[in-house]
């Protein structure tokens, strides 16, 4: 009887501790999804009956396919660049003795300060030959005018460059951190077996941090899918309309606030959210990232 009561008190206290987070979770993740879903299947100007009309409208919109293409190409450039550079440089850093690389690691963290709207600002000046410290390099390629760089066919590379520089440095440092967690015995054993630096890096260390690299790619993919601020700001200032409705989130924004078609905007948001949730579920159930976290919960029970 007494034990039963203690258990109940324990559960109530646990709930009280969890409650503030639960409220935020319900308010700012679950309710918005439910409401947005209702709007997406509710009646709208284009689909008075409701149902899947808004979804069909989005899929048939000519801007949708081109935005999908843009974002896909962006990811195809950005993800491999991240993987190669982050894996390569973190392995290099790890191969060289730690105390000498501190200034390098700090330098790699510097671009993290240049993200979001600041990234557009800075990269605009970096790529505009009139201002750029790299003007000499551009001149070598015969580029002297900003319009030669800022044009529709280059946009995807420009956005990939911005995204790459914002994130690569701190991921290098994070993956370098993962490399530090490899037990010394493993590395010592490999060294005893006569492995050289390259074999150590590619056959021993790389496979051991592989899952962290995959995890990085998945997070980077999920965030890259949502790209908005870069194309939006470029289009609303320096080069008006240059990247109009370039990304999926831009299209969703345009539908909601400029096309006053909230239903279609929410339909598009729902589709993008669904992709992210599916990716999340794959990581949780199809990879072993969170196995330990999940096992711990089972242990308790």
Partner 1 sequence: MSTHSTDQKQISKVSPKTSTLVRARGYSAKAAAWLVMILFAVFSIIPMLWLVLAPSKTQVELQRDAPLSFGSFQGYRNAWENLNVFQDGRIVDWIINSIWYTGVQVLVACAVAILAGYALAATRLPFRKTMLIVTLVAMIVPQVAFVLPLFVEISALGLYNTAWAIILPGSFYPFGVFLSYIYFSSTIPAELYDAARIDGSGDWGIFFRVALPLAGGLIGMLAFFSFQVNWINFFLPFVVVSSGDVLTLPVGLGILFSSTPALSPQVGANALPIRAPEIALAGMIVAIPILIVFLASARLLVRGVLAGSVKS
Query: 260: number of CA atoms within 13 Å, CB side?
Result: 1
Rank residues 28 and 202 by Cβ distance to partner 1 and give the closer one.
28
Of the pair 56, 273, the CB lying nearest partner 1 is at: 273
The tokens describing 142, both together, are: 């015969």
* Pair 75, 133: CB distance under 8 Å: no
Task: Please provide the DSSP assignment of 37-63 as one string.
Answer: HHHHHS--SS-TT-TTHHHHHHHH-HH
Nearer to partner 1 by C-beta: 186 or 280? 280
Task: Supply the minimum distance, in Å, between the C-beta of residue 263 and partner 1.
Answer: 10
Q: Smallest gap, in angstroms, from Cβ of residue 117 to partner 1?
A: 5
**Least separation in angstroms between CB 296 and partner 1:** 5
Q: Give the shortest CB-208-to-partner 1 separation in angstroms.
A: 10
Minimum CB distance to partner 1, residue 101 (Å): 7
Q: Which is nearer to partner 1, 156 or 262 (CB)?
A: 262
254-257 long-range Cβ contacts below 8 angstroms, 24+ apart: 254/63, 255/58
Please say which residue, 46 or 271, places its beta carbon nearer to partner 1. Answer: 271
Tell the smallest beta-carbon distance from residue 55 to partner 1 (Å): 15
Nearest CB to partner 1, comparing residues 70 and 175: 175
Long-range (24+ apart) CB contacts under 8 A made by 9-12 are none
CA angle, 70 as apex, 174 and 130 as ends, to 5°? 75
Specify the residue, 144 or 237, whose C-beta has the smaller distance to partner 1.
Answer: 237
CB neighbour list of residue 8: distance below 8 Å, 6 or more residues apart = none
- Nearby residues of 147 by Cβ (< 8 Å), 6 or more positions away: none
Least CB distance to partner 1 at residue 158 (A)? 14
Compare residues 160 and 229 and give the one whose CB is closer to partner 1: 229
Min CB(38)–partner 1 separation in Å = 8
């Amino acid at each position: 009887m007494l034990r039963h009561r203690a258990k109940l008190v324990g559960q109530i206290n646990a709930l009280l501790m969890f409650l503030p987070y639960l409220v935020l979770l319900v308010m700012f993740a679950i309710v918005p999804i439910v409401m947005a879903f209702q709007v997406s299947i509710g009646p709208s100007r284009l689909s008075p009956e409701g149902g899947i009309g808004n979804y069909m409208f989005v899929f048939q919109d000519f801007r949708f396919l081109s935005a999908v293409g843009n974002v896909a190409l962006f990811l195809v450039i950005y993800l491999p660049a991240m993987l190669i550079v982050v894996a390569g440089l973190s392995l290099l850093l790890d191969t060289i003795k730690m105390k000498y690389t501190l200034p390098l690691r700090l330098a790699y963290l510097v671009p993290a300060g240049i993200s979001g709207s600041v990234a557009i600002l800075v990269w605009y000046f970096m790529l505009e030959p009139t201002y750029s410290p790299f003007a000499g390099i551009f001149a070598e390629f015969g580029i002297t005018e900003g319009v030669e760089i800022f044009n529709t066919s280059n946009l995807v590379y420009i956005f990939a460059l911005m995204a790459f520089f914002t994130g690569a440095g701190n991921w290098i440092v994070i993956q370098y951190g993962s490399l530090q967690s490899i037990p010394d015995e493993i590395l010592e054993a490999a060294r005893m077996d006569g492995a050289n630096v390259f074999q150590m890096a590619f056959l021993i260390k790389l496979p051991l941090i592989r899952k962290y690299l995959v995890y990085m790619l998945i997070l980077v993919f999920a965030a890259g899918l949502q790209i908005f601020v870069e194309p939006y700001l470029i289009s609303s200032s320096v080069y008006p309309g240059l990247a109009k409705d370039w990304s999926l989130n831009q299209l969703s924004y345009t539908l909601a606030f400029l096309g006053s078609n909230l239903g279609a905007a929410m339909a598009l948001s729902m589709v993008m959210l669904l992709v992210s949730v599916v990716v999340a579920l794959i990581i949780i159930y199809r990879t072993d990232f969170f196995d330990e976290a999940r096992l711990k919960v089972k242990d308790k029970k």
